[in-house]
Amino acid sequence: MKKILISVLVLAGLLLNLPLRADEGMWLPLLVKRLNYEQMKKMGCKLTADEIYNINNSSLKDAVVMLSGGSCSAEAISAEGLLLTNHHCGYEAIQTNSSVGNDYLTNGFYAKTRADELPTGGITASFLVRIEDVTARVLAEVNSGMSESERTAKVRQMYKTIETEATTGTNYNASVKSFFNGNEYYLFVYETFTDVRLVGAPPESVGKFGGDTDNWMWPRHTGDFCMLRVYAGKDNKPAAPSPENVPYKPKHFLPISLDGVKEGDFTMVMGYPGTTDRYLTSYGVQMALDLSNPAVVKIRDKKLKLMKEDMDASTEIRIKYASTYAQTANYWKYFIGQSEQLKNNNVVQKKKDLETKFQTWAGADPTRQAKYGSALAEIEKAYQDLRKITLNRTYLNEAVLQGAAVGSIAMQMSQLKDILADSANAAGPLAEVKAEVAAMYKDYNEPTDRKLMEAMIAMVMADIPKEMQAPIFDTIRIKWNGNVKAFVDDVYARSIFASAAKFNAFLDKPSLVVFESDPAAKFSSGVLDHYMKTFRPVITEIQGRIERGNRAFVAGLREMMPEKKFYPNANSTMRLTYGSVQEYDPRDAVEYEEYTTIKGVMEKEDPTNPEFVVPARLKELYKAGDYGIYGENGSLNTCFISTNDITGGNSGSMVVNGKGQLIGCAFDGNWEAMSGDIFFEDKIQRTISVDIRYVLFLIDKLGGAGHLVDEMKLMKKGKEVKRS
């Protein structure tokens, strides 16, 4: 029966021009009216283009929120500044507010009143004011005779000028971003709020259900959501965090659909995808497969194992390292999956095929040959040079900069050298540093940090050629006879950065001599200085060649295929993607349906595995079939998949139906298409979203916070309804 229905749907799709494959493209909302709107209407979009993006009147874009400069996305879901995003986007805020005696990670949290809402520790919420094409201005003084460094300097100078003009006399902030590898430039103007508070989150047994095992996988049963609230001054403008602030009133908030989703339904996502590299050449893909991806996985695998040992032994340490562990694990699995699918989906060969076509096209015309003929050769030679030093750069970032906290803090505090040298004016800056000490060490456990530093140093010394290592590693070999543990023990015994107490004691009696002789400071500065002097200039020059080659390659591709609608790589700017709810068949004899239900939660339950624990109250509600107005046909949907094109940064993005009503919150991609950031897999790429009805059920029935649902505008069959 299922296959018959699929055949009918395929036929309907052919007749109605509705694609049953993934819908590629992360489109700038500014250009949707010209590039995409007619196709969106055919697929089921009922909104006008102006209802999606308009700078003069309220539109859908006014409900879309960029969190903390692009770390995640969110959406306004009430007239009182209530935001919905993913549990993992608010995870650090939940962790920061947790303690052994008040464990919100384990138990969840819902504010009963506005006064109970909690600080988030620095999350910001930015609303887009407008987008403007500034390509002509940015490139006005750029010419082909410039070196790449001269061109970059001129472009950055124009960025600053345009951004300043856009924000002078306003409370806005602005950013000019490059598109199509430096061929176009757009200005983004934002209104950014710094008073953002935690309103509610389910227990992590719900918000992280499935843990690392289910991460990037379908089928999924995760209630991956949390709620924040934006606060403003009484004039509804951004204001510093204060008890006097009031809930922000957004220009637009999303009504919520209780109608559910079915296969073929139109879906639209708007959010802030972080980074894609879809124009990456085969040379870059091969380097990732051979060098950088395996290195990241190897280093993170070691860090995860060391943290997990201590987290399993102590509730206090588990809470302290929960956010760091989750962030590390997410992209550890991402790079495993990306490498696997780059191979499975034959991406290197697909890239080579396009490059061969491009080279043939460029060589067929003297003018094109002059403009584009050398682009790929330049890129290839640059990657040959970059391969020689890319491991060194990867290990610096993963093992040193993001290794042990002591080394990272010492590196961040390198400014102390200049502050202490100017003793007459040091008091103010030192007081500012002291005010931040508690935050620096809030998630610090010295024994765990020692193990991390020892392991990371040992990996650098074993995996990076000696001639490329900083002199400090020779010191370990000579002075410490290669005994990394002895060196690390000395660092933690003598360093002012080994604990908050030691650092505070130093700040009470600061000394330039003590700072310069500190073993952690000497180690971190020794590694970084060596990199900056020896490798940074080389990498900058190589990257300049890659950028120049890519700029010509992408310009040529767009000229070669004038009939194709091109979209730019993601770069943490607002994008719109459209698609439909669709199942998929990833491999022989495997067929995934387009939605999951609460029954699957119970089927996955494993009380012996922390990733698959099910709260007792949730089991009670399931047994009683008590789903309130959120159920459907005696069941409750949990998640669904659609053909929308998303990536990291889209976490928490709204998923709306053709009427602009919220139907879900996007939180993941699927394993089989994890090469998608580099090459879009149109037959199998899917977006995984938590069904909004499951979110509301968890807030209301499981969390007992129906008052938060009452803030929202619930729609069913075209009419506004109440939860009871």
The alpha-helical segments, DSSP class H, found in 168-259 are 204-207, 211-214
Q: Catalytic pick from 87, 88, 221, 530? A: 88
Spell out the SS3 assignment of 130-173: EEEECHHHHHCCCCCCCCHHHHHHHHHHHHHHHHHHHHCCCCCE
The alpha-helical segments, DSSP class H, found in 464-518 are 471-479, 484-494, 500-508, 512-516
The token pair at 243 is 């008890």
Chain centroid, CA 444 distance in Å: 24
φ/ψ bin of 444: left (φ > 0), alpha (ψ from -120 to 50), beta (otherwise)? beta
707 is catalytic: no
Nearest to 280, CA basis, from 650, 554, 555: 554
Answer for the pair 454, 515: CB distance below 8 angstroms, yes or no.
Answer: no
CB neighbours of residue 673 within 10 Å: 25
Can you tell me the distance from the alpha carbon of 589 to that of 681, in angstroms, rounded to the nearest whole number?
19
Answer for the pair 176, 165: CB distance below 8 angstroms, yes or no.
Answer: no
CA end-to-end distance (rounded Å), the chain:
38
242 is catalytic: no
Handedness of CA 200, 203, 207, 208 (dihedral sign): positive
Helix (H, G, I), strand (E, B) or coil at 129: strand
What's the length of the chain?
A: 724
530 is catalytic: no
Can you tell me the distance from the alpha carbon of 197 to that of 96, in angstroms, rounded to the nearest whole number?
12
Q: Catalytic pick from 195, 224, 310, 443? A: 224
Beta-strand (E) ranges in 491-624? Answer: 575-580, 584-587, 590-592, 595-597
Can you tell me the distance from the alpha carbon of 276 to that of 678, in angstroms, rounded to the nearest whole number?
6
Q: Catalytic pick from 178, 524, 580, 651? A: 651
User: Among all residues, which ones are annotated catalytic?
Assistant: 88, 224, 651
